């Protein structure tokens, strides 16, 4: 759950940036990581059936390459829809990045209708994310898509 005000500040800040591509994606992860409960924030880029970790803020993860269909991240691409997992311990298709992670949200990034990547956020709290977070991250995904390179 993110407040309307905090979401507006994030979106307005990113829209005012003059940077693009990787620099904008890193900036977005930096800004998102300041929000309460946003304990790991990263971008995975989709390349030929595989998700590849790009810009992120948080603890390093061993899951730098994730095949489509695997984990919460790969499921988002396989099912072509965003994912919200309230309790990762109850998910049987979850790739653990950290024992501290309790909940996760994945929002797809689309350019011209094609998925090019995703925003993945992990929280140390259960049920940290709802549709307010999905709406914020969808706006961020659209900004990143518009300035992808
Ligand atoms: N938990 C993800 C893997 C990526 S880490 O959260 C950074 C998954 O199940 O796909």
In whole angstroms, what is the distance from residue 139 CA to residue 100 CA?
27
Distance 38 CA to ligand 1 centre (A): 14
Residue 97 confidence (pLDDT): 87
**Strand spans (E) along 18-124:** 40-47, 50-57, 65-67, 83-85, 103-111, 114-123
Instruction: Classify residue 89 by its DSSP letter.
Output: G
Task: Name the band, by pLDDT with cuts 50, 70 and 90, for residue 16.
Answer: very high
Nearest to 35 by CA among 97, 83, 105: 105
Whether ligand 1 lies within 6 angstroms of the CB of 72 is answered as yes
Distance 78 CA to ligand 1 centre (A): 15
Q: Encode pLDDT of 59-110 as tens digits.
A: 999 999 999 999 999 999 999 999 999 999 999 899 998 999 999 999 999 9
For the full predicted model, state whether its pTM sits above 0.95. Answer: yes
Beta bridge partners of 53: 44
Q: Which of 45, 61, 63, 88 to mutate to test the pocket of ligand 1 (most atoms within 8 A of CB)?
A: 63
Segment 104-129 shows an average pLDDT of 98
In whole angstroms, what is the distance from residue 148 CA to residue 109 CA?
10
Helix (H) or strand (E) holding 79: helix 71-79
């Amino acid at each position: 759950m993110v407040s309307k005000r905090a979401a507006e500040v994030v979106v307005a800040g990113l829209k005012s940036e003059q940077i693009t591509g990787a620099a904008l994606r890193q900036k977005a992860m930096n800004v998102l990581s300041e929000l309460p409960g946003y304990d790991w924030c990263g971008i995975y880029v989709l390349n030929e059936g595989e998700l590849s970790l790009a810009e992120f803020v948080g603890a390093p993860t061993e899951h730098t390459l994730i095949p489509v269909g695997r984990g919460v991240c790969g499921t988002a691409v396989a099912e072509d829809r965003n994912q919200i997992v309230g309790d990762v311990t109850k998910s049987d298709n979850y790739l653990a990045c950290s024992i501290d992670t309790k909940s996760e949200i994945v929002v797809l990034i689309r350019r011209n209708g094609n998925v090019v990547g995703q925003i993945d956020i992990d929280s140390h709290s259960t049920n940290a994310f709802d549709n307010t977070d999905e709406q914020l991250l969808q706006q961020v995904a659209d900004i990143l898509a518009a300035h992808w390179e």
